[in-house]
Structure 1
Amino acid sequence: MRDEKAFRKACYEAARRTRGQVAGFVSYKTGPNFDQGEIAYRHRTAAVLWTWELDGEVRNGLGIAEAPVGWGSTTFVDEPGLLAVLGELLPGYRLYTRAELEQPIDLSAPPWVSDGHAKHWRPDTLGEALFNFWD
């Protein structure tokens, strides 16, 4: 089940624990299959990406990217402290590292994307499949 309230609460607490500040949230009703919470630090603003549905099933996954995230401009980053705190706050969510998100995707290994989406959109990396702007 999609729990936007739990995601936002975790972002606020993670920001507090990692000495950041929540800069805002972006929730998409159509298009992208993820929401994002932006946490500002001195060195950058990180976007916590949360995908809740993969191939028609609810699967909560988290990744971190450089903010802002937009069409074709997702740059995944390493924020190990932030990822660790989010893992503690959101047990049961799958946390993806930058290395995992940037690796080539094996489309034969579920649950990445449906066959129709894979043939049409042709994602190259796991990150493109998990956090996408497909319609």
Structure 2
Amino acid sequence: MTSLREFRRACHKAARRTGGRIVEFRIADGVTPNFHQGVLDHGGHHRSIVCTRDRAEPVVAIAEPRVIDGTAVGWGPLTFVEAPELVAVLAEFPAFQVLTPADLEYWAPVDLGEGLFNYWD
């Protein structure tokens, strides 16, 4: 199971080491989504570090965060993005398996990313 403490620590370290800052944590506590998010401001862009919550070896990846403003629906497939500097920091945490967009875009339903990080479990 994913340690929220370790996930938060990884997000803070990734933000700090790459010149970003944490904007918010979206901790999943219901049936869906099946992942947590650490949203950070990174080089003028918002990025989400997403982490599966119910796997023995948690998987993390970098995605565009959902806009949740009361009118937008916060579900659907994520858009994974390249962020090598964030991936390098996250890879220092042995508790997590870090995947890139290339790793995630080859499996059904649409891609592995959708299978691992979803709102439909």
Determine if the TM-score, normalized by the shorter chain, exceeds 0.5: yes
1:72 and 2:72 equivalent?
Answer: no
Most deviating of 61-70 and 23-32: 61-70
CA distance in 2, matches of 1:11, 1:41: 12
Per-residue deviation at 1:38?
A: 0.6
Alignment length (residue pairs)? 114
Secondary structure in 1 matching 2:57 = strand
Contact 1:52 1:59 in 2 (8 A): no
RMSD, aligned α-carbons = 1.5
TM-score (norm 1): 0.78
Q: Tell me which residue corresponds to 1:21.
A: 21
Gaps of 5+ in 2: 68-73
Equivalent in the alignment of 1:46: 47
Check the 8 A contact 2:33/2:120 in 1, yes or no. Answer: yes
Q: Please show how residues 96-107 of structure 1 align to structure 2 within 5 Å.
A: 96-105=99-108
Q: Equivalent residues in 2 for 1:1-135 (5 A)?
A: 1-30=1-30, 31-54=32-55, 58-68=56-66, 70-88=74-92, 90-105=93-108, 123-135=109-121
Q: After superposition, give the CA deviation of every residue in 1:59-78 in whole Å (9 maximum; x if it has no partner).
A: 31001101226311511100
The AA in structure 1 aligned to 2:47 is A
Higher helix share: 1
Higher-Rg member (1/2):
1
TM-score (norm 2): 0.86
Identity %: 42
Q: Which runs of 4+ in 1 moved over 4 A?
A: none
The gaps in structure 1 that reach 5 residues or longer are 106-122
